[in-house]
Chain A
């Protein structure tokens, strides 16, 4: 029997060895996804190198044709431009929809700059920044050949504000447009005059009126909500089943939760579109692909891109970083996202700034970086809440970034009247191993200075609505610390900071700002909103970041990085600074 068992195990071992060898063998020899032109001579492949697609274009080409194959392990909120709040979706939507302005399809920081898209130019402000006017390009059509007018843009913006029908998208237009009080939605109050918010004096002009000045309105104009929707074709919640395209591609097949395919839109005219090259003939997007399998398929060349753009899974991480050939296919951008711990002052003794500082001093910052996956997959040790890609960022040096400063932590504890330490509870998302590791790292590090943490995990799905984001629950359960993370809607101070430092955003539940409740911070937020000079405005957001750190409202862990595997057989591959993932607008297929 022993002999037989050994034989069986040996056989299994052989299978596994072969399997793992194959896993590691993801070299350039694999099948290349999308290489459909068998009769065409292949162009020489560009030289692979680590980060070759981060600040420059990898494998540039204007060759058209082929199929770009995307996949994602989960579904996202919606393909309806008025009902989506995912970065991947805002990146993708540009292939079938044209917003007034959009992010320049260029690598790195250049990708954060706005370019006119449906509009002829960026917005022209008047009335001290309360009125914004855009002129639409002539000749832009919907996929059915109908000309796009400013009324289609107005309708699209107004419909996206109906949160009963489209709950997923952002609410910037709801919050800022000067709408009449009796307007409910385009469906419920279609006859209410909304010219006080949006005017369309002619078919090519649209004018937005805000309740208060905002100098960064072009960022609103870049939202997918400004992608025109023809009122006659609007089917409410069903519009996601057939979005009417204005971009170079239109939907051929929509199978919710399974698959989307997009083909060329014959009514898109390159002459009206200086932003897009429209290289591939077709996009195939498969949903619900096993995340590990998805990585393996990208490595082998069977797929081009993980649409999520958040990097490979832990199973593939060691393989792609340890094999030099594979590492040469890796891009490792830093994103506009910070993972941090909120230090909640509602719960004594954390209402005392020195007690909060004791936590920041005592934390093992290297341990926190490792908890999030280390230097490559986790990110850079964060010294502030605001990540480096946000305008106004400056490197702060307020707290040590090593493995914890016990002496300083004890000094802070003495200053807050708790020289022997104190006890508090830390919440984290139980189904997120990185956050669990963060909580455990903090528990171990802070125990050394006498701060005892009781860890409590809560499900991600209800984390903000029922637990850490619900002030009543937080106070009742004595939660002093809670893991948190935030990514920018767009890369300026307002886009990143406004929802997580302004105490006036806090409501009964569903909060993301768990700990910054400071009137001085609120006043600075107001000051930044009113400042029309970009440099001065950015400087104020930098000042807010410094104040949040000085008052120890948060303990930042890392500015996130992701390990992206560069696709084989794709051209114009680069990471856009707008979304910190591969740009889906400019990518083509190797011919």
Chain B
């Protein structure tokens, strides 16, 4: 087990290095292939009235004249050893892990990412609890009451949940529940958990439900399909023949086996969300990692884009590792080594 974890951790690290190289290449190599010069890169960080001389000075100062591998090496060095950035008036410190320095916003990337993680974490965890409980419970009940009114209604709602994009359901929910009925918080409302847990939950209720509605739908359908398949297996018949109570048959034998694919998809979904619930955060104006990514892309702020990509990749890789470890817990047939 320990060997397996170490092996996976090394693999995860390699994966992050590859992601960083690919991302770096997309932003620093591909534009050069299209004819971009060092001054063109520098112009992104200069104002509307920058002259050619200013662009040349900035290109040199920002290191765009160096070979790309040197620039990449400098970025990697910053991650482990920190870096310094000359802002003209002063030299700004970017302590390790320095994921770059935003010359647009004049601040290191990492502290801002850290500042935004609690928002994304709050959103993703709250929503995932709702969708996991709601989706799995609905799926189980639908499977057990196959063909009933409940089953049909639940699956129709699930279809709507999967079909409606969150930027639509989110805006409509805000208009109806926040601005119309006044029962939920308006967009952009967020209170840190440690300040006021009740207000934290109240402010996030609508984003949670909206996001969970989208995911619960697919989880309900997946769980239903899994349960229908599992409940038809021979070992379920055997369990019933042994005289086990129906609740034990369903939860211990049926649901446990049906949960394996759910755990897989849940881990990846949660990892992706932790890397930035872009649509939900922008729809509800929440200042999380996803909103940060959008801002970075809109302003073409490459260090920010690099930073957020690495954080997103880290969450997905870690989630994937945790899922693999959980397999052994959920499914006794799986042994890690």
Instruction: Give A residues with C-beta under 8 Å from B.
Output: 1, 3-9, 11-12, 15-16, 18-20, 22-23, 25, 30-31, 71, 74-75, 77, 85, 162-171, 185, 187-188, 234-238, 240, 256-258, 286, 288-290, 292-293, 296-297, 300, 302, 461-462, 465-466, 470, 473, 507-510, 512
Contacts and interface: CB of A to CB of B under 8 A. Distances in A.
B9 interface: no
Interface stretch (B17-25, B174-182, B194-202, B234-242): B174-182
Interface string B184-208: 0011100000000000000000000
B295 A74 contact: yes
B269 interface: no
Q: Which among B155, B156, B171 has the greatest number of chain A C-beta atoms within 10 A?
A: B156
Given A18-B176, A19-B176, A7 B156 contact: yes
B232 to A, nearest CB: 20
A162 B50 CA distance: 11
Interface in B129-175: 149, 151-153, 155-157, 159-160, 164, 167, 171-175
Interface in B57-101: 57-58, 61, 87-90, 92
Contacts of B48: 85, 168, 170, 512
Contacts of A8: 153, 155-157, 159-160
B295 A75 contact: yes
Interface in B249-274: none
B157 A290 contact: no
A142 to B, nearest CB: 20
Contact of A4 (B58, B153, B173): B153
A296 B175 CA distance: 7
Contact of A289 (B37, B151, B285, B295): B285
B87 A236 contact: yes
Interface of B: 31, 34-37, 39-40, 43-52, 54-55, 57-58, 61, 87-90, 92, 105-107, 112, 149, 151-153, 155-157, 159-160, 164, 167, 171-176, 179-180, 182, 186-188, 282-285, 287, 291-292, 295, 298-300
A16 B169 CA distance: 8
A290 B179 contact: no
Contacts of A292: 167, 171
B269 to A, nearest CB: 22
Contact of B282 (A19, A290, A470): A290
A407 to B, nearest CB: 41
Contact of A236 (B89, B159, B167): B89
8 contacts: A9-B156, A12-B160, A15-B176, A30-B179, A77-B47, A163-B46, A236-B89, A465-B44
A293 B283 contact: yes
Given A12-B164, A296-B179, A507-B51, A461 B44 contact: yes
A356 B32 CA distance: 33
A237 B39 contact: no
A509 B54 CA distance: 12
Contacts of A300: 175, 179-180
Contacts of A289: 187-188, 285
Given A185-B88, A286-B188, A296-B171, A163 B295 contact: no
Contact of A163 (B50, B282, B283): B50
Contacts of A288: 188, 285, 287, 291, 295
B172 A5 contact: no
Contacts of A162: 88-89
B282 A297 contact: no
B40 A462 contact: yes
B192 to A, nearest CB: 13
A8 B153 CA distance: 6
A4 B43 CA distance: 58
B335 to A, nearest CB: 41
A15 B172 contact: yes
A231 to B, nearest CB: 12
Given A20-B172, A163-B54, A297-B186, 13 more contacts: A11-B156, A31-B182, A164-B58, A164-B61, A234-B89, A236-B90, A238-B106, A257-B287, A296-B175, A466-B31, A466-B35, A466-B40, A507-B52
A19 B180 CA distance: 9
Given A257-B112, A293-B171, A510-B50, A237 B179 contact: no
Contacts of A3: 152
Given A236-B89, A256-B105, A22 B180 contact: yes
B179 A302 contact: yes
Contacts of A236: 87-90
B224 to A, nearest CB: 13
A337 to B, nearest CB: 14
A10 B52 CA distance: 61
A19 B54 CA distance: 51
B120 to A, nearest CB: 14
A184 B91 CA distance: 17
A430 to B, nearest CB: 14
Contact of A187 (B31, B89, B106): B89
A470 B45 CA distance: 17
A256 B115 CA distance: 11
Contacts of B43: 465, 509-510
A296 B176 CA distance: 11
A170 B44 contact: no
A352 B3 CA distance: 74
B88 A11 contact: no
A168 B47 contact: yes
B152 A1 contact: yes
B318 to A, nearest CB: 26
Contacts of B54: 163-164, 167
A414 B331 CA distance: 80
A10 B40 CA distance: 54
A394 to B, nearest CB: 28
Contacts of A166: 88
Given A163-B54, A237-B106, A288-B285, A22 B90 contact: no
A3 B149 CA distance: 9
B160 A167 contact: no
A234 B54 CA distance: 23
A459 B122 CA distance: 34
B165 to A, nearest CB: 12
A509 B179 contact: no
Contact of A257 (B87, B149, B295): B295
A256 B174 contact: no
Contacts of A25: 180
Contacts of A171: 47, 49, 51
A167 B175 contact: no
A34 to B, nearest CB: 14
Identify which of B44, B149, B153, B186 gathers the most chain A CB atoms within 10 Å of its CB.
B186
B34 A466 contact: yes
B153 A22 contact: no
Interface centre among A22, A170, A185, A290 (most CB of B within 10 A): A290
A296 B177 CA distance: 13
B156 A286 contact: no
A419 to B, nearest CB: 36
A167 B156 CA distance: 55
A290 B47 contact: no
A167 B52 contact: no
B279 to A, nearest CB: 10
A7 B153 contact: yes
Given A4-B152, A167-B45, A237 B175 contact: no
User: Which 3 interchain pairs have the tightest Cβ spacing?
Assistant: A8-B156, A4-B152, A236-B89
Contacts of B174: 293, 296
Contact of B47 (A15, A169, A187): A169
Contacts of A238: 90, 106
A290 B173 CA distance: 14
Given A290-B282, A510-B55, A461 B300 contact: yes
B44 A164 contact: no
Contacts of B61: 164
Contacts of A12: 157, 160, 164
Nearest to A164: B88
